[in-house]
Structure 1
């Protein structure tokens, strides 16, 4: 998902800078529109990959001989690894493209995305030749899963960079009047990619029958199909990109500035260590006898704190920081950031656990059913976002923010009532309500961020609140999945067989029935945790931006994410 609409105002300001309009004034309209179509296709592809694997965790685990319920905390890194790479590069690559040119960086990002996709497909082949023990499962180190997580991170470094570079390129291709419309189109495309990702992945898992030697698993084709698409996009960008749209610092004569690689590395290291450390702590806090000990080192929590302190100290003295810490002096901006962090935690609970529930509990369901169940929620997010933007202009950010949190909590509470014999009506009710809530919060958060940030920091403010949602998704999934796995193992380990039952078939049936009931209990408790997070988020929602009496600042209501 993108910060397109938030950056629209910043790009309008940039248009007044020397050299900027020179780059856009000579771009023919037809060439600009053709380039926009290709850029939107690239953004859609990378947005698709944020959510495309959520329905594929079970078949990925099966192909690596990994049991999903017992190893959710490890398999969830297939999702978290992508989010981590996305968060690290998003604030940087707009500035990198300022220095070295949009087309060059966009082509490089797509190439890196394709390389990451190929490595995802070849993860087992790589594991057989270069063992890497990044994560462990109940059976020990799993090198194939470790390689898949590394490949997903590489994918995200390319894919996450496409979004800010695409946003910046729109500022180069279009004049001020058409720029906001073009940015709105990119915002809509990225929303569509995130919404359709689960369904696209499920369709491949369910319907794809073509195989090649070494590519027998349908989930491999989720990544393999990216490669020819990228090749087409690269060729299209090379052919359609206007030569007059060069916007590197050297071409425009603008100051080159600096790229804060050290800050990005410190932030990435802190997030990585925190994710693993929270997983460790979540398991340790359960203190359940018989639960699997976590493979992570608890010292990672301390390492994360040290790296975070180093990041804050470093950023405080940078002229061009990754994160302008001064933005957090605003209570309303900090409230919006915390609000998005908490709802990000809740969002990933739904994205990961709804497919697990559909596939593991409703045994007659298919991958397509899991994708359609998620689509009920994700399709409501852009709809809720537009409704939220309309409402914010009339009743303010705080009312809409609280309403969004309440809708989200209500949806999760409905999901918490799901049982073994679940009908699709209840699935639809829960997912539609939660999706509406996730959509309603978009405009209050974005509007609060922009109305409390100086104009020269619009782009950074939008990037920060977006990145914090993804950080919440990473951290929430790490902590809750580790806790859930530990609890699942404890409950399964304490399954009691009634006295007098000796027939092996009866015992097998009893264990299977109780294991399904335990899965329901653990997954629906995840949904309860999502409801709690949404309710806690009401507190920062009460401190979102509110216009003051006599305030001459123009209210900017932003719909996109």
Structure 2
């Protein structure tokens, strides 16, 4: 029941990662956002993801210090408050002034949107902590032999929430309106809090918690890490928009310097964070991220593999709908159906990966998943200019299944590499590396793709028989830009496959031992009993006692 409670909380918070995707058109209309500022509406989604990433290391560490139940209760309360403010964002925009944000350079011309983005960020602060704490609860209750399958279950629930979010949001919007998406969270959170208070103990291992006077939280480190991720996200996002801007004085002035300044600030803040964490570790304080973890080869391998997998996954989830809208000229339903081919098997692969960890070890389960995902991306690279559902289905299903298969091996390796006091930190780090990979991979490859597309379009030359803007010229130009878009997107799919192949290298250092099953333990007990019998018949009584003590130590 404790596992059911935390998995339900994970599903709800993961659902809200993507629940507003299908509701964005109505959100834009209700908040009176003009079409030329649609990029700002994207922060309704990315603001939640950014808050999700920033809070994970902090709350994973806090759960190690104060216990799982208290932190789950607190974070679900914050999530409920953020959900309430999201639903009230239009009214707050009309009644509460935001002039205090103008000195920070934030445009408050659309206060309803600003309130919604801030509320989504607050919502993510509560939701972002649920995943690592839930993984830590699962690791608390289940030992080494069964840990792979329960962590695979948590990963399956997380992916299922992200997959069903758009469908759930579309259903709610059609029945009611977009604020109802957030109001429904309130009774659901109340039910989850009751389950957590009933079935999740204050701390599964009370003796593992440090003394009250020594429970120090690294708030400065959390703030510096959050600022570094924020600067990095903003800098890379703005860098991507440069490729879509028309050439001229406007694109060659302040924006470029601001982008470089943000990226440089991110590097400086990251260096300051590393130095601060080293200082706190030497002073024997509790850093938000214990860098000693990365000295363990298996943990570093899991983090690096997850980073590369995150980049490949977000490329597929973003580019498949755009590919269908631009190259195949299909509507949003068809593009959503194509994306479902990818996401449908991710939770199935996550659950199966947890089972295979006990049979094939984490190392080989992850490598099989990565190769399967790479094969799927290569098939997606071969998608033709006309719709071929057979090739589309095989490629997308193979990629999704392979990406799901690696979730449990990475999580299992990470938590098995640390002691019980660091389970929350380890599970949060291995999750945050995946989301950082999403941010960087999407920004880098999207920037490259947009730049490459502009280069190809600039090379278009119509024959002399087709004067500019004539029907023949327009037909040739449309066909050319469609071919250019097809070339760019298939190249991006190929790059995602290469990332999966590269991820096989750190995956070779994942945990390579097969967990001992109950049958293995029974066989060991039988062997020990036979050895005791031999000692009993052939050796004096003193040696029998020594053998008995040895057997007791082994059994313990």
| TM-score with structure 1 setting the length | 0.73
In the alignment, which residue of structure 2 is the partner of 1:277? 235
Indicate whether 1:348 and 2:314 are aligned.
yes
Residue from 413, 416, 420 that aligns with 2:378: 413
Indicate whether 1:201 and 2:166 are aligned.
yes
In the alignment, which residue of structure 1 is the partner of 2:438? 473
In the alignment, which residue of structure 2 is the partner of 1:267? 225
Judging changes above 3 Å, is the alpha-carbon distance between structure 1 residues 75 and 420 closer, same or farther for their aligned structure 2 residues? farther
Residue from 52, 57, 62 that aligns with 2:19: 52
Q: Secondary structure at the match of 1:321?
A: coil
Point out the more displaced range, 445-454 or 180-189: 180-189
Aligned pairs for 1:159-238 (under 5 A) are 159-166=127-134, 188=153, 191-202=156-167, 204-205=169-170, 208-210=173-175, 221=178, 224-234=180-190, 237-238=193-194
In the alignment, which residue of structure 1 is the partner of 2:399? 434
Give the C-alpha shift of residue 54 in structure 1. 5.3
Residue from 359, 370, 373 that aligns with 2:335: 370
Judging changes above 3 Å, is the alpha-carbon distance between structure 1 residues 358 and 286 closer, same or farther for their aligned structure 2 residues? closer
1:324-346 per-residue CA deviation (whole Å, 9 max, x = no partner) reads 11121123322221111111111
Aligned pairs for 1:83-122 (under 5 A) are 83-96=49-62, 105-117=71-83, 120=86
CA distance in 1, matches of 2:200, 2:364: 46
* Contact map agreement 1:76 1:477 (CA 8 A) in 2: no
In the alignment, which residue of structure 2 is the partner of 1:3? none
In the alignment, which residue of structure 2 is the partner of 1:320? 286
Q: Secondary structure at the match of 1:47?
A: helix
Consecutive unaligned residues in structure 2, runs of 5 or more = 519-556
CA distance in 2, matches of 1:264, 1:113: 19
CA distance in 2, matches of 1:122, 1:490: 45
Point out the more displaced range, 423-432 or 476-485: 476-485
Judging changes above 3 Å, is the alpha-carbon distance between structure 1 residues 56 and 340 closer, same or farther for their aligned structure 2 residues? farther
Judging changes above 3 Å, is the alpha-carbon distance between structure 1 residues 236 and 538 closer, same or farther for their aligned structure 2 residues? closer
CA distance in 2, matches of 1:116, 1:48: 15
* Contact map agreement 2:228 2:269 (CA 8 A) in 1: yes
Residue from 508, 524, 541 that aligns with 2:490: 524
Residue from 403, 411, 429 that aligns with 1:464: 429
In the alignment, which residue of structure 1 is the partner of 2:211? 255
Point out the more displaced range, 415-424 or 57-66: 57-66
| TM-score with structure 2 setting the length | 0.74
Give the C-alpha shift of residue 89 in structure 1. 1.7
Indicate whether 1:41 and 2:8 are aligned.
yes
1:295-346 per-residue CA deviation (whole Å, 9 max, x = no partner) reads 6420222211211111111112242122111121123322221111111111
In the alignment, which residue of structure 2 is the partner of 1:81? 47
* Contact map agreement 1:54 1:355 (CA 8 A) in 2: no
Q: Secondary structure at the match of 1:241?
A: helix
Judging changes above 3 Å, is the alpha-carbon distance between structure 1 residues 431 and 143 closer, same or farther for their aligned structure 2 residues? farther
* Contact map agreement 2:243 2:450 (CA 8 A) in 1: no
Indicate whether 1:537 and 2:503 are aligned.
yes
In the alignment, which residue of structure 2 is the partner of 1:156? 124
1:465-489 per-residue CA deviation (whole Å, 9 max, x = no partner) reads 2221111112212222333334445
CA distance in 2, matches of 1:516, 1:136: 37
Decide which structure has the larger Cα Rg and report it: 2
In the alignment, which residue of structure 2 is the partner of 1:15? none
In the alignment, which residue of structure 1 is the partner of 2:526? none
Q: Secondary structure at the match of 2:404?
A: helix
Give the C-alpha shift of residue 158 in structure 1. 1.5
* Contact map agreement 2:51 2:121 (CA 8 A) in 1: yes
Give the C-alpha shift of residue 353 in structure 1. 1.6
Aligned pairs for 1:67-78 (under 5 A) are 77-78=43-44
CA distance in 1, matches of 2:206, 2:188: 29
Judging changes above 3 Å, is the alpha-carbon distance between structure 1 residues 556 and 279 closer, same or farther for their aligned structure 2 residues? farther
In the alignment, which residue of structure 2 is the partner of 1:337? 303
* Contact map agreement 2:372 2:402 (CA 8 A) in 1: yes
How many equivalent residue pairs?
A: 501
In the alignment, which residue of structure 1 is the partner of 2:369? 404
* Contact map agreement 1:336 1:541 (CA 8 A) in 2: yes
1:512-535 per-residue CA deviation (whole Å, 9 max, x = no partner) reads 544444433333332122112112
Q: CA RMSD in A?
A: 4.5
Q: Secondary structure at the match of 2:184?
A: helix
Indicate whether 1:298 and 2:260 are aligned.
yes
Consecutive unaligned residues in structure 1, runs of 5 or more = 1-32, 216-220, 548-552
Point out the more displaced range, 322-331 or 198-207: 198-207
Give the C-alpha shift of residue 497 in structure 1. 5.2
* Contact map agreement 2:9 2:192 (CA 8 A) in 1: no
Judging changes above 3 Å, is the alpha-carbon distance between structure 1 residues 168 and 433 closer, same or farther for their aligned structure 2 residues? closer
In the alignment, which residue of structure 1 is the partner of 2:530? none
